[in-house]
Amino acid sequence: MTAGLRSALPPALVLLGLALLMEAAKAAGLLPITVPAPTQVLAVIPAQFADLVYHGAATLRSALLGYLCAGLVAGALASVALRFHGAERPIISFGLLVDCFPLIALAPIFVIWLGQGMLLHVTLSAIASFFPLLLGTVKGFRATDASTRQLFHVMAATPMQRLRLLSVPAALPYIFQAMKIAAPLALLGALIAEWIGAERGLGAMMIYALFSFNVPVVWLTILTVCGLSALAYGLIALVESRVITWEVRGDAGGTDG
Amino acid sequence: MSDITLSDVGMMFDIGHRKITALRGIDAVLPSGSFTALIGPSGCGKSTLLRLIADVLAPTSGEIRIGDHAPDAARKRHEIGFVFQDPTLLPWRSVVENIRLPVEVAGQPAARQPEELVELVGLKGFEQARPAQLSGGMQQRVAIARALALSPKVLLMDEPFGALDEITRQKMNIELLNIWRETGTTAVLVTHSISEAVFMADRVLVLSANPGQVADRIDIDLPRPRALDLMQDPAFHAHENAVRAALFSGERTAA
Ligand SMILES: Nc1ncnc2c1ncn2[C@@H]1O[C@H](COP(=O)(O)OP(=O)(O)OP(=O)(O)O)[C@@H](O)[C@H]1O
Ligand SMILES: [Mg+2]
């Protein structure tokens, strides 16, 4: 619990500090009309709350599904890379390529293929979160030393046993690390997809508020996405602290917060 | 039967631009149930030889048999116990769980209960500890216990006692000899200690370096069971001197 709390604390403090700063700046007349004071944003919450939940749920669902799909594909590809050594470089290159495409430019093309429904949102969310998950899993699978692999060879472990008893546990710290990085990206992917066209979702709410020049609501949606990202990160960190109870060597350890 | 027969075994490593001959022309028969010590300068190929016997590496020339079969048959029947030069424990498993690992992998009933093995290697009370909480010497003892979990027909140990203090080392040596006698396993022990080699083994193979070759083979015909006071015996010193002489003459021919 404390570890999860501790990892959620820094982003929360940063947000709070920023809010205070903005409040002061707004009061001093330093901020343009497009930037409201945090209290103005807070003031619209009661009226917007039902909408926020309605749209937020859709975004969360898309992001979660996209994240899961990305995780499954990343896990499968990483397993292939683990089994066939020569496949590792092409697989990483593929992941990098997917990651390098500018999502905003890609989104309209995907609309043509997938329409504007949830399929689009899930797909873009998956694309946005794919690469860190892939890289983390591949790297994690490699985090075993030669003599431990030889030990499994001497014990005549089957490939499945090797995966279950060695590669997966060794990779877990790296996978959690990647999951924490990828969760906000999945939300961002869903958000971008919703901008392009959606009836429901925080992205749609944001665009609608933008076009009706409802500045506080625009900011409210932005802050909601921030909050959800921080929450997702914190939740994963919490699970991580429960699962990784051993001392982790190498560059996967001690990166909480 | 699990005698280990090495016939003209050679091992060459290809490291890109050049080849390293780690071992050349190794001939030896290690009878079933015997205890052999391997001693030689650093880098002479002792670890490599153990890996060849365990079928981790395949020799580039010559042949190795365990009993009537190639080493991979024994390995696939889970008949080889291996203690690596470093402990190679799984950090996410407790001491008992690490010891139980070969049993889980083989899907066979444990020949010795992991709890019993913990006690045997003097780690009672540390059953649930994680490897990171143990000292290097304690970790290495866990690795020894793990290698014994299935009572292997062939027990290969690569400097298992390197990280132990003198007293613990002697204790472990005696325990190891007891287990070896009980189980009739064919044991090979790599060591840098001349007295340990003589104390433990039926025969000491002295290797020389560049390339790794058998410089000499010294039979140790000291009575068993062996106890610590054997080390005071003039016969023991005579054997030690013979091993030392072989070790240094090997060094001289290599230079
Ligand atoms: N996987 C490998 N690839 C290339 N060369 C290797 C490999 N393993 C061992 N060697 C080489 O083979 C030689 C023998 O190495 P080995 O580890 O068997 O020595 P050793 O006798 O166990 O030494 P030590 O007493 O220091 O443990 C060395 O020259 C080493 O560089
Ligand atoms: Mg060695």
Contact assignment for B91 to A247 by CB distance below 8 Å: yes
* Residue A1 banded pLDDT, cuts 50, 70, 90: low
Ligand 2 centroid from CA B51, angstroms: 10
Q: Which residues of B touch A165 (CB under 8 A)?
A: 90, 101, 104-105
The ligand 1 atom nearest the CA atom of B159: 27
Residues of B in contact with A248 (CB under 8 A): 91
The per-residue pLDDT for range B53-110, each reduced to its tens digit, is 999 999 999 999 999 999 999 999 999 999 999 999 999 999 999 999 999 999 988 8
Kindly give the number of the ligand 1 atom that is closest to the alpha carbon of B85: 27
Cβ distance B51 to A156 less than 8 Å, yes or no, reads no
The pLDDT value given to residue A104? 86
Least CB–CB distance from B92: residue in A151, A153, A246:
A246
- Contact call for A165 and B104, based on CB within 8 A: yes
The residues in A 72-131 lying below 8 A from B, measured between CB atoms, are: none
CA angle A181, A183, A184 (to 5 degrees): 85
Domain boundaries, chain B: 4-79+156-164+187-254
Mean pLDDT, rounded, for A117-144: 94
Question: What mean pLDDT, rounded, does chain A reach?
Answer: 90
Residue nearest to atom 6 of ligand 1 (CA): B13
Give me the pLDDT at residue A247, please: 83
Residue B119 CA to ligand 1 centre (angstroms): 34
Statement: residue B250 has pLDDT above 80: no
pLDDT of A257 reads: 35
Nearest to B102 among A145, A148, A155 (CB): A155
Looking at residue A107, what is its pLDDT?
Answer: 86
Best of B13, B24, B42, B206 to mutate for ligand 1, by most ligand atoms within 8 A of CB?
Answer: B13
Q: State the complex-level ipTM.
A: 0.93
pLDDT in tens, A210-226: 999 999 999 999 989 98
Q: What are B197-200's contacts with CB under 8 Å, separation 24+?
A: B197/B37, B197/B39, B197/B243, B198/B37, B198/B222, B198/B236, B198/B239, B198/B240, B198/B243, B199/B173, B199/B226, B199/B230, B199/B231, B199/B236, B200/B35, B200/B37, B200/B173, B200/B176, B200/B226
Considering the domain B4-79+156-164+187-254 in this protein, what is its CATH number?
A: 3.40.50.300
Confidence of residue A256 (pLDDT cuts 50, 70, 90): very low
Chain A residues 159-178 with a CB less than 8 Å from chain B? 161, 165-166, 169, 172
Dihedral sign for Cα A72, A73, A74, A79, please: positive
Average pLDDT (B206-233) is 93
Residue nearest ligand 1's atom 22 by CA: B47
pLDDT at position A253: 52
> What mean pLDDT is reported for chain B?
93
Taking residues B208-225, what's their average pLDDT? 93
Q: Which domains does chain A have, with CATH numbers?
A: 53-245 (1.10.3720.10)
Give Cα separations from A86 to A53, A81, B56 (angstroms).
47, 7, 21
What pLDDT, on the 0 to 100 scale, is given for residue B17? Answer: 87
- Residues B110-134 have a mean pLDDT of 92
Q: Is the pLDDT of residue A39 over 80?
A: yes
Whether the predicted pLDDT of A254 surpasses 90: no
- Which has the closest alpha carbon to A57: A190, A181, A216? A190
What residue type is assigned to position B42 of the chain? S
User: Which of A154, A172, A246 is closest, CB to CB, to B75?
Assistant: A154
pLDDT over 50 (residue A255): no
Whether residue B244 has pLDDT greater than 50: yes
Q: Per-residue pLDDT averaged across A151-179, rounded?
A: 96
Position B187 pLDDT exceeds 50: yes
Average pLDDT over residues B16-29: 93
Give B-chain residues touching A146 at CB under 8 angstroms. Answer: none
| N residues, chain B | 255
Q: What percent of chain A has pLDDT over 90?
A: 65
Please list every residue in chain B whose beta carbon sits closer than 8 Å to the beta carbon of residue A166: 90
